[in-house]
């Protein structure tokens, strides 16, 4: 009788077994994975469409000019009154000048290879869609900076830092220890705002067309106005109190007090600044002479390049006296 040797199982490498199990697990997880169709884009914000009128169109230009005129008379105010024997009548004069602002050219292009695009299209994604959004976001951020502070490279300024605008310091609180709004009462903050509003109004001969309609303050101060109450026994916030009792509202017009990140550290010695101005196209604006435009696609070897261009101007302070700064709030 032939006896067969005992059959022993072939030992397996435990590492190989673990790897196979891991591969199966990963494959299962991949099959169970649900792809969210929503793409998470960067969280970012711009406020220039809210705070600055824009004039669109006009084509590519080197600069934008505005003609200013001032009137004067050769006589005094009462010299225009004359009697029968008078023969010296004052003459009206017009002094004309030109205000010129520069334009800036914006350019950027997207680039990707044919193979890269084919791979992304296989999973339902087009690289041009993503990159187009990126370019538009970049231009929007550039316009935001242009409107509020300008560009150091071009030595330009904006709404929050124009050296031609008159500025003043916030008043100290009742204790004489601080000018900051966090250390002031509602009435003291209202006094600061009314001082700035009155200064603009008086500077423009108390014209009803020169009453400011917008106040920009840093986000931190805006939060204080919203969160603090007028007094311990009041339900009204300081912001509500200010909007109801400022001199603009009392003149039958509307005043907007809004947060602006660019006001932070924009004042003298990097103090926080309040900007009071008239948000109206014939007072202050900028030109978007050439909205973002896609140029002809370029093919270089195995890649695609698509240029985009745009052009916009500096902020045009048509009436600089309708803007005023207050630092140290």
Summarize the confidence of residues 53-74 as an average pLDDT. 81
Q: What is the pLDDT of residue 16?
A: 47
**Angle at the Cα of 44 from the Cα atoms of 223 and 154, rounded to 5 degrees:** 100
pLDDT band at 272 (very low <50, low <70, confident <90, very high): very high
Residue 168 has pLDDT above 50, yes or no: yes
pTM score, whole prediction = 0.81
Higher pLDDT among residues 235 and 28, named by residue: 235
Q: What is the pLDDT of residue 235?
A: 86
Q: How many secondary structure helices (H) and strands (E) does the chain include?
A: 8, 13
The per-residue pLDDT for range 10-20, each reduced to its tens digit, is: 555 554 445 45
Q: Which residues are bridge partners to 229 per DSSP? A: 237
Q: What is the pLDDT of residue 119?
A: 72
Cα separation of 125 and 112, whole Å?
13
pLDDT band at 133 (very low <50, low <70, confident <90, very high): confident
Count of all residues that appear for the chain in the document = 329
Measured between its terminal Cα atoms, the distance across the chain in Å is 108
Q: Which of 78-82, 129-133, 169-173, 215-219 has the lowest mean pLDDT?
A: 78-82
Residue 213 has pLDDT above 50, yes or no: yes
What average pLDDT does the chain have? 85
Token pair listed for 327: 């630092």
Q: Which CATH class is domain 48-69+96-157+287-316?
A: alpha beta
Return the beta strands (E) in the chain as ranges: 54-56, 63-73, 92-113, 166-169, 214-217, 256-259, 273-277, 284-288, 290-294, 298-300, 303-313, 316-317, 324-327
Domain borders along the chain are: 48-69+96-157+287-316, 166-283+321-327
Cα separation of 172 and 265, whole Å?
19
Q: What is the pLDDT of residue 179?
A: 96
Q: Which of 129-133, 240-244, 273-277, 293-297 has the lowest mean pLDDT?
A: 129-133
Residue 58 has pLDDT above 90, yes or no: no
- What's the CATH number for 166-283+321-327? 3.30.2320
Residue 59 has pLDDT above 70, yes or no: yes
Higher pLDDT among residues 167 and 123, named by residue: 167
Q: Write the DSSP symbol of residue 170.
A: P
């Amino acid at each position: 009788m032939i006896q067969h040797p005992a059959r022993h199982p072939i030992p397996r490498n435990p590492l190989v077994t673990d790897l196979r199990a891991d591969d199966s697990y990963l494959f299962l997880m991949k099959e169970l994975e649900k792809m969210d169709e929503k793409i998470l884009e960067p969280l970012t914000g711009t406020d220039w469409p809210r705070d600055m009128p824009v004039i669109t169109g006009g084509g590519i230009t080197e600069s934008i000019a505005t003609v200013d005129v001032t009137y004067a008379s050769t006589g005094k105010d009462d010299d225009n009154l004359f009697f029968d024997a008078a023969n010296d009548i004052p003459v009206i004069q017009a002094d004309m000048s030109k205000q010129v602002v520069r334009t800036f050219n914006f350019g950027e292009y997207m680039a990707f290879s044919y193979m890269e695009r084919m791979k992304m299209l296989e999973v339902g994604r087009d690289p041009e869609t993503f990159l187009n959004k990126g370019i538009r976001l970049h231009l929007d951020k550039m316009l935001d900076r242009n409107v509020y502070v300008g560009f150091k490279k071009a030595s330009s300024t904006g709404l929050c830092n124009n050296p031609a605008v008159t500025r003043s310091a916030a008043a100290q609180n009742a204790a004489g220890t601080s000018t900051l709004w966090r250390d002031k009462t509602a009435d003291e903050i209202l006094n600061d705002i009314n001082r700035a509003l009155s200064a603009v109004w008086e500077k423009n001969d108390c014209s009803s067309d020169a009453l400011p309609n917008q106040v920009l303050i840093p986000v931190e101060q805006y939060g204080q106005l919203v969160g603090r109450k007028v007094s311990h026994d009041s339900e009204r916030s300081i912001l509500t109190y200010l909007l109801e009792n400022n001199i603009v509202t009392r003149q039958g017009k509307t005043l907007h007090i809004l947060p602006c990140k660019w006001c932070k550290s924009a004042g003298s010695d990097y103090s926080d600044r309040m900007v009071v101005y008239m948000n109206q196209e014939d007072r202050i604006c900028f030109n978007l002479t050439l909205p973002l435009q896609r140029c002809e696609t370029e093919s270089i070897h195995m890649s695609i390049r698509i240029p985009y261009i745009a052009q916009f101007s500096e902020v045009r302070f048509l009436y600089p006296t309708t803007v005023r700064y207050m630092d140290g709030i």
